[in-house]
Amino acid sequence: MLAVAEHMSIQNELIPRIATGFCGGLAYTGGNCGAVSGGIMAIGLLLGRSAPTDQKNRCYEAVRAFLEGFLAQFGTLSCPELTGVDLGTPEGHAAFVEKGQRWECTHYVDEATRMVMELLMSKPDDQVEDIKLISPSHEK
pLDDT recorded at residue 134? 33
Q: Read out DSSP for 32-82?
A: B-HHHHHHHHHHHHHH--SSTTS--HHHHHHHHHHHHHHHHHHS--BHHHH
Cα distance between residue 61 and residue 84, in whole Å:
30
Going from N- to C-terminal start, the domains of the chain cover 2-134
Containing H/E element for 120?
A: helix 102-121
CB atoms within 10 A of CB 121: 10
pLDDT tens for each residue of 69-103: 999 999 999 999 999 999 999 999 999 999 988 89
More confident residue, 12 or 135: 12
The reported pTM is: 0.83
